[in-house]
Structure formats: C-alpha cells, structure tokens
C-alpha cells in the first residue's frame, strides 16, 4: 500500500541538511545550556568546599599559634624566675658531683638518660633538635615572601605555583620533626623531675638552689626550641590557608563564567526557537549558531585556562 504525504505536511518538514540543522539547533543549545549550568554548579560546590577547608585549616593554625605562644610564655617565666633567684640569693655554679653524693639521686642518674641530663643542666642548653626537614624551593620562597609582610596580591603568584599535596606533606614533616624533639627531651625532663623531688629532702640548700637555677636555664632553652618548632608548623598551615582560599576563588570565578556561558546558550535557544517559529531561518539561525559556538568556546577556555 502506498502512502501519500500531503503537500502541506511536506512543506513543514525540512527536506535539506540545512533544514534539519535548523530544526535541531534549539535542542542542541538546550543541551549545551544544561551542561554549562551543571559545570557552574559543580565549580560553586568546589569553591564552597575549599572555603570550608580553609576555615578548618585556619582553626588549626590558630591552635598552633596558641601552642607557640604558650611555649614562649613558659620560657619567659623560666627566665624571669631565674633572674629573681639570681638577684635575691647567691648561687654557686652547678656541680654534677654534688648530686652523685646522694645515693638515691646517684641511682637515678645511673639511668640511660643520666649522663645527657647532667651535661644539659651544666651547659644550660637544650639538646639539638637535629636536621629539620627540607622544604621544596617554591614553599621556601612563598614563606619568605609572607615573612616580609608583602600584600596578598604580591604574594599570590608565589602561592599559585604551589601544590596543595606538597604543602600538606611539609606540614606533616614539620609536625613529625617537632614530635621527635619532644621524644628526645622526654627522658631528660622526667629524670629532672625525679631528681628535683629527691632534692626537696636535702638539707644542703646551696645544692638545691644551684640545681634549680640549672633546671630553669635548661627549661627556658627547651621551651624556646619547642616554640620555634611549633612556629614552623603554624607558618606552613597558614600557607595551606592561603592556598585553599586561592583555590576557592579560582573555582568561584570559573562558576561565574560557566554561568555566563549558560546564559549565552540559553540566548541561542531562544533565538533559534524564534527563528524556526517565524521561519526566518537565515539571519536568526546564524545568530543562534554563533551564540552557541561562542558559549562552547568560552566554556572550553574557562575550563582549560582559568
């Protein structure tokens, strides 16, 4: 059976490739607009995530700075107490032999950390923390630029080239280095406390005072080293905060521009729809196609370079 298509229906159905493209243009533009809207929403979600991460990192940095300040205050208190002790009493130089004269204290000093404890008390110094972890050149440069007090716009280029994972690794290494110093001084600190507890029972006031002065010098030096190690960790976390904020700003800008591309694609949908409806297919279809092409090119540019 042969089917005959009415002439009026044939006139409404595009028979050429150009006609088919014109009919499909609104659909294609709608798909492009939907895609750009999704990309815009995705970039905004990433921006919000980075902002949230920056806020968490800022909280950690604040805790680290508080820890640093506490160490500095404790060290200052040790030095202040030592100054008062020296100005009010006559102190003899610390002599490790006076401690070994007491059998109980001599037994304590026979522990593995005994020789190191006596040496540090006599010198009034903290043990060497060892070799600090090596930072990548870009991280060192960014920290130096921040320490000079430059504006954020001047520091931004040095932070932009940093890798977030590299900064995270630097923070982890700095924390481990600070913890290694705590582990190094822990046996000495515990032994000093034990010896001081035994000295309270001593009748020789001069021995107790000289030991107390030596302990204060050692503690002040130890707190100073601990403060500097925690300061290094805090500086690196501050670098994390700046990097996260920069990433958030970049995603925010991408979201805005994807949104503008979506608007251009929506404009293409509207124009092409009117073109098909009004059958003014040449000029209006060209405008619709041009808007769609611009939207696609703009979206690719934002995705690759912004």
pLDDT, average across residues 255-264: 88
Crossing angle (nearest 10°) for helices 137-147 and 152-160: 170
- What is the biggest distance separating any 2 CA atoms in the chain, rounded to whole angstroms? 126
Averaging pLDDT over each range in 30-34, 87-91, 228-232, 299-303, which range is the top one? 228-232
| 58-82 pLDDT per residue, tens | 999 999 999 999 999 999 999 999 9
pLDDT class of 95 with cuts at 50, 70, 90: confident
Torsion of CA 263, 266, 270, 273, to 10 degrees: 160
pLDDT score, position 1: 45
pLDDT for residue 9 is more than 60: no
pLDDT score, position 44: 94
pLDDT class of 49 with cuts at 50, 70, 90: very high
Tokens of 116: 């190191």
pLDDT score, position 5: 42
Q: Among residues of the chain, what percentage have pLDDT more than 70?
A: 85
| 204-229 pLDDT per residue, tens | 677 788 888 999 999 999 999 999 99
Alpha carbon distance 67, 118 (integer Å): 28
pTM over the 0.85 mark:
no
pLDDT, average across residues 123-149: 91
pLDDT for residue 8 is more than 50: no
| Helices of type H across the chain | 7-12, 17-88, 96-100, 103-109, 114-123, 137-147, 152-160, 164-199, 205-278, 283-305
Top-confidence residue, 266 or 256? 256
Q: How far is CA 243 from CA 195, 253, 256, 293, in A?
A: 48, 15, 20, 34
Angle, alpha carbons 107-109-114 (nearest 5°) = 150
Helix (H) or strand (E) holding 150: none
Task: With CA atoms as reference, report the closest residue to 218 among 75, 96, 83, 80.
Answer: 75
Residues 6+ apart with CB under 8 A from 65: 234
CB distance 43 to 247 below 8 Å: no
What's the chain's average pLDDT? 84
pLDDT score, position 203: 53
pLDDT, average across residues 239-245: 94
pLDDT class of 166 with cuts at 50, 70, 90: very high
pLDDT for residue 175 is more than 80: yes
């Amino acid at each position: 059976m042969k089917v005959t298509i009415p002439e009026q229906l044939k006139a409404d159905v595009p028979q050429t490739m150009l006609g088919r493209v014109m009919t499909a243009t609104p659909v294609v533009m709608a798909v492009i607009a939907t895609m750009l809207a999704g990309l815009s929403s995705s970039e905004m979600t990433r921006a919000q995530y980075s902002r949230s991460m920056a806020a968490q990192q800022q909280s950690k940095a604040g805790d680290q700075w508080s820890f640093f300040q506490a160490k500095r205050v404790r060290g200052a208190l040790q030095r202040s107490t030592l100054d008062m002790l020296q100005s009010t009493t006559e102190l003899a130089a610390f002599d490790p032999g006076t401690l070994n004269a007491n059998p109980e204290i001599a037994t304590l000093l026979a522990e593995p950390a005994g020789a190191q404890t006596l040496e540090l008390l006599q010198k009034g110094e903290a043990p060497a923390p060892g070799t600090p972890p090596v930072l990548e050149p870009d991280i060192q440069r960014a920290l130096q630029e921040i320490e000079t007090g430059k504006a954020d716009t001047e520091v931004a280029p040095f932070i932009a080239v940093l890798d977030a994972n590299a900064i995270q690794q630097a923070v982890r290494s700095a924390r481990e280095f600070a913890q290694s110093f705590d582990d190094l001084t822990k046996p000495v600190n515990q032994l000093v406390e034990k010896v001081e507890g035994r000295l309270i029972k001593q009748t020789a006031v001069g021995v107790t005072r000289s030991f107390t002065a030596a302990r204060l010098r050692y503690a002040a030096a130890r707190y100073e080293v601990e403060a500097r190690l925690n300061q290094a960790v805090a500086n690196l976390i501050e670098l994390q905060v700046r990097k996260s904020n920069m990433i958030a700003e970049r995603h925010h800008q991408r979201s805005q521009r994807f949104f503008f591309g979506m608007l251009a694609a929506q404009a293409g949908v509207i124009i092409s729809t009117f073109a098909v409806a009004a059958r003014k297919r040449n000029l209006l279809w060209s405008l619709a196609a041009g808007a769609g092409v611009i939207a696609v090119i703009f979206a690719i540019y934002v995705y690759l370079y912004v």
